[in-house]
Structure formats: C-alpha cells, structure tokens
Amino acid sequence: MNFDNIFKEIEKADPEVSGRLDTRRSALKNFANYGGKLALTAVPLAFGSMFKKAYAGTTSTKEDVLAVFNYALTLEYLEAAFYSQALLSPNLLPAGPINQAIQLISAHETAHVNFIKAAIEAAGGTAVESPTFDFSGGKGSGEGSFKTAFSDLALFLAVSQTFEDTGVRAYKGRAEELLGAGELLTAALQIHSVEARHASYIRYLRKQAGSGVGNLKPWITGNMSGIGTNLVQASYNGEDVTSQASIDIININGFPISADAASEAFDEPLTPADVLMIIDGFLVP
C-alpha cells in the first residue's frame, strides 16, 4: 500500500486539498507515530480514519468513485458473510485442502470489506451498512432453492462459484466509472483479479471433485455455468460473445481459435442492474 501515492492522487483530483496540507501532514505524522503500534489487520481502517480527518468538513468531489466503491462493498459484504457462515457450519467443509482454501478466500473477502470501507472513508464518503443476507436465496424466508448450501458441499461450491464469477463481472462492469481515479482504480483492479483467482480455484475444484458439472473449466466456456439449475444462469448469460471491439476472435488471423476458446479468452462485464437482479434473492428486504 503506497499511502503517499494515494495522497498525491487525491490532491490531483481535488486541488483544494492543498489548503488541507497541514492536516495531511499531521495525519501522516500521526500514522507514522501509531503505525508501529497497530496490529496489521487494523491498517486499512487506520488508513481510512486518517483520510477522514484530512477531508473533514469538505464535500467530496468523487461521487462516482464512492458509488462504485459502495456497490463493490455490498458485494464484498455478501461474499464475506457467505464464507464466514460456511466456516461456522459444522460438517460442511472437509478438513484439509478444501477447508484451508475456503479459509483463505474468506480472509480475502473480509480484507476486501475492510479495505473498501477504508477507501470510501478516505475519499470523504460514508460506507454503506451491510445488508442482511438470506443465503437460501429466499429473500428472507430462509426457504429458497439454496437452503441446504451450508450442509451440502456440492451446492455450497456451486453458489460460491456463482458469487465469484458474478463478482468478477460486476467489477468489470463499473471499471469505466473509475477512469482517472488513479490508485483507487488500481485497487479495484487488484480486488477484481483476486475474485478471478477464487473463481478459477472453485471451478477447478468442482471439476476435480464432482460429477454433473459438464466440461467445467477454470475459465468460462460460452455461457455454461456447470451448475444443474437455471437459477444461476443470469450470472453466465452474455459470457458467450466471441467478438471484441468488432474484432472476430474465432480463427483470428488464421489461427485455429475455436468459439469456446474465443469466449473463454475474455470475461464479460455485468451491469449493476443485472448484478442486483442476481443477488436480489439473497437480500433480506
């Protein structure tokens, strides 16, 4: 984390910041003073409150960035809560590699929540509260189609895959709005690729472990979910495009690139409306 760079970015985006340089300097100094005493996990939060001080009493000029980050935060709350609950569920995750992998993914999602909250506060915004989730997909009834997700490993991994693949698409769908946001855009990209690593792992695990997943690969082939229900299909619709920026990828320049490979080679974005529709069943109104 390069704190100094983030300060420079905020100065660039908001020329008025120079008037707060003294605050900034003392914030940095404060951080230097307290840095050694802070537990490592507290760093993102400390970084957030430090910025909040520097921006106290001003109106943010970064509404777009804040909106994107609060959107991302909501998705990270969903994922973090999902994995926390899985780790608390007896007899769901077999001891060994699977349990360890879910612990790692869970730690990343929790770190993302803390990091994004800190970034939002740093930019002078207010982080949204976490919604209440119903991971059965029943909108609060607890009786949705995924109600055994925390006792049935195969179903749990299918939901996990859907959340991770959807997360990758969701970040991509709002990348444009972070154009010019410097370090904040970089951070969003750095979270985005971690979600893709998670998705790849879960997909590979499902293929290695299970039947009924078709020819599931770490990458997305066509609009195939590898999940035996239409309920998650919206997370995969539109992934089957084989042309990018009007350039046809199939057999491009005479190289034998199949339609499957052409679709796999590029992940596609999802609009916020699509994403909210996908996660709607998991939100308690």
Partner 1 sequence: MPKIKIPQSRLLADREAIAQVSRRRFLGYAGAATGLMAVASSCKKEDMQSSSTTLEGVDLGSGDPGILNYAYALEQLEAAFYIKVIESQFSGITSNETSLLTDIRDHEIAHREFFKNALKEAAIIDLEVDFSSIDFGSRDSVLSTAKAFEDLGVSAYNGAGRLIVTPAYLVLAGKIVSVEARHAALIRELIAAGTFADETAVDMVTGLDGAKKPADVLAIAQKYIKTTINASNLPTY
Q: Which of 145, 84, 87 is nearest to 112 (CA)?
A: 84
Q: Which amino acid type is present at position 74?
A: T
Q: Find the binder of partner 1 among 46, 87, 147, 204 (CB under 8 A).
A: 204
* Minimum gap (Å) between residue 260 Cβ and partner 1: 8
CB of 23 or CB of 183, closer to partner 1: 183
Q: Which of 165, 135, 163 is nearest to 150 (CA)?
A: 135
The site map against partner 1 for 30-69 (x = CB under 8 A) is: ----------xx-xx-------------------------
Residue 234 touching partner 1 (CB under 8 A): no
The DSSP letter of residue 240 is T
Residue 197 touching partner 1 (CB under 8 A): yes
166, 270 contact by CB (below 8 A) = yes
182, 12 contact by CB (below 8 A) = yes
264, 221 contact by CB (below 8 A) = yes
Residue 276 is encoded by which pair of tokens? Answer: 């909210």
Q: Which amino acid type is present at position 82?
A: F
Q: Find the binder of partner 1 among 82, 219, 236, 282 (CB under 8 A).
A: 219
Give, in degrees to the nearest 5, the angle at Cα 49 between 45 and 50: 110
Q: Which amino acid type is present at position 39?
A: A
Q: Find the binder of partner 1 among 153, 154, 189, 276 (CB under 8 A).
A: 189
Listed ranges 57-65, 189-197, 226-234, 277-285: which one lies at the site for partner 1 (CB under 8 A)? 189-197
* Minimum gap (Å) between residue 98 Cβ and partner 1: 9
Chain residues 66-125 in contact with partner 1, contact rule CB under 8 A: 97, 100-101, 104-105, 107-112, 115
Q: Find the binder of partner 1 among 131, 210, 269, 272 (CB under 8 A).
A: 269
CB of 40 or CB of 88, closer to partner 1: 40
CB of 26 or CB of 186, closer to partner 1: 186
CB of 152 or CB of 267, closer to partner 1: 267
CB of 201 or CB of 236, closer to partner 1: 201
* Minimum gap (Å) between residue 203 Cβ and partner 1: 8
Listed ranges 24-32, 60-68, 145-153, 264-272: which one lies at the site for partner 1 (CB under 8 A)? 264-272
Q: CA–CA separation, 282 vs 285, rounded Å? A: 9
From the number of C-beta atoms within 10 Å of its C-beta (0-12, 13-18, 19+), residue 240 rates as middle
**From residue 193, how far is each of 5, 87, 172, 197 by CA, in Å?**
21, 23, 10, 6
CB atoms within 10 A of CB 44: 20
48, 117 contact by CB (below 8 A) = yes
Residue 259 touching partner 1 (CB under 8 A): no
Residues at the contact surface with partner 1, assessed by CB under 8 A: 1, 5, 40-41, 43-44, 97, 100-101, 104-105, 107-112, 115, 168, 171-172, 175-176, 179, 181-183, 185-187, 189-201, 204, 217-219, 244-247, 249, 252-258, 261-262, 264-269
